[in-house]
Structure 1
Amino acid sequence: MYRPKKYRKDEDEFILPFIRKFPFATFVLKGEHLLATHIPVLIDQSEDDNWRLFSHIANHNEQQQFLKNDVEVLVIFQGAHSYVSSSWYEEADISTWDYSAVHVNGKIKLQSDSELRESLSKLVANFEKEQEDPLYYDKIPKKMLEDHLPQITGFWIDPVKVEGIAKLHQSYHSKDVERVVGKLDASEDPLKNQISEDIKNEHNL
């Protein structure tokens, strides 16, 4: 990933909360050509703070035939982003795009049946916990689960390279940063509102 030094965010204090906040990722691997799938990917963190990722894909997905132990994959987590018009600055400048992202290169380890069941339970719990009337994994009819499990492949991803970036108007004049934030806040687009909050946090506004 192209990352000028001033935008790099490689510390766990940025990486792990970011992945938890934006778990719907782009999962990329090399088959006969590059293949990508959009799937939820969660963190499995041990008591000693080591971590890995986990997810699953459908067996009829083209990626499945290339999903083997030790295959390298790339997982891309995308945060809020927005176009920033040069017309927002005090003086003429170049338009740009503010954004944040995390890339994780990792090695695949296929899950056993029991690991897949546990992973699915954690996945459902993660997203159901905020529902008004959550339906957790162990409450899903057993017959449905038994029919579903043979149709998917679960896997771990052990990270080998992790890169974070947050391009949030670093090194810009404070007045221009404030003007950008004002324009983004005035938008009805939630993505623009979110990137505005990210810029404010970066600049302690």
Structure 2
Amino acid sequence: MFIPKIYKSEDPELMKKIISENAFALLISNKEKLSATHSMFLLNENDGDFFLETHISKVNFQAKVLKDNDEVLCDFLGAHSYISSSWYEKPNVSTWNYEAVQIRGKVKLMTDEELYKHLEKLTFKYEKVQKCPMFVENMGDELVKKEMKGAFGINIYPTEIYIANKLSQNRKDNDFENIILNLEQSDFDNDKKIAELMKENRGLI
């Protein structure tokens, strides 16, 4: 992913935030043919290091060809918003503000035990906020292990990390404030989110 220097971040906390809040992301591989699957990711931290966890269906083409040490690309798109050139004081081109993370890494296939724990953690993350949460321990081992037979779990150990944080950093105060004003007046949640991120990034809140 090409990221101009002004928009490139090295902040690991920003990376974790983008991944955590946008965990339904793309798993991309190019073994035998270019393939991409939307799947749920978890970020697993261990003594300062981290790796990604995900699973896909065993009938998925990627599950049939991916092996240990194969390279994949994981693409996480965070908040994003169209920025109209009509919001600038002087004529210019329109653009797009966004936050994103791309991680290139090596595959390590999960064992059955690792897959069980992965599904347990993933289910807990999204069920804990439900009115009547259904955790893995409530489902019973027999059902969970039966369903696991259709899942292909992989860990992904990063080799390259790219963090994009494009929030109109190149704009002077007047344009910057006008962009925020227009985004805040929008009916779209992503526009409001980008306005908030812009203010945070420039220390306005």
- Residues 78 and 100 in structure 2, CA contact (< 8 A), matched pair in contact too: yes
Q: Which amino acid aligns with 1:116?
A: L
- Aligned partners of 1:62, 1:144: CA distance in 2, in Å? 25
Cα deviation, residue 146, structure 1: 2.6
Q: Name the residue aligned to 1:174.
A: 173
Query: Counterparts in 2 of 1:155-174, with a 5 A limit?
Result: 155-174=154-173
Query: Counterparts in 2 of 1:55-134, with a 5 A limit?
Result: 55-134=54-133
Q: Which amino acid aligns with 2:64?
A: Q
Corresponding position: 1:36 with 2:36: yes
CA deviations on 1:149-180 (whole Å, 9 max, x unpaired) are: 11111111011111101110012111111111
Q: Percent identity?
A: 35
Cα deviation, residue 144, structure 1: 2.7
Q: Name the residue aligned to 1:188.
A: 187
Q: Name the residue aligned to 1:17.
A: 17
Moved over 6 A (4+): none
Q: Which amino acid aligns with 1:35?
A: S
Q: Secondary structure at the match of 1:68?
A: coil
CA deviations on 1:8-35 (whole Å, 9 max, x unpaired) are: 1122122112211211111100132210
Cα deviation, residue 142, structure 1: 3.7
- Aligned partners of 1:81, 1:42: CA distance in 2, in Å? 22
CA deviations on 1:32-75 (whole Å, 9 max, x unpaired) are: 221000011111111x2111110111011111112110000000
In structure 2, runs of 5+ residues without a counterpart are none
In structure 1, runs of 5+ residues without a counterpart are none
- Aligned partners of 2:44, 2:79: CA distance in 1, in Å? 24
- Aligned partners of 1:193, 1:132: CA distance in 2, in Å? 28
Q: Secondary structure at the match of 1:2?
A: coil
Q: Which amino acid aligns with 1:129?
A: K
Superposition TM-score, scaled by structure 2 size: 0.96
* Bigger mean CA offset, 15-24 vs 170-179: 15-24
Q: CA RMSD in A?
A: 1.1
Q: Which amino acid aligns with 2:146?
A: D
Q: Name the residue aligned to 2:2.
A: 2
Q: Secondary structure at the match of 2:168?
A: coil
- Aligned partners of 2:168, 2:145: CA distance in 1, in Å? 50
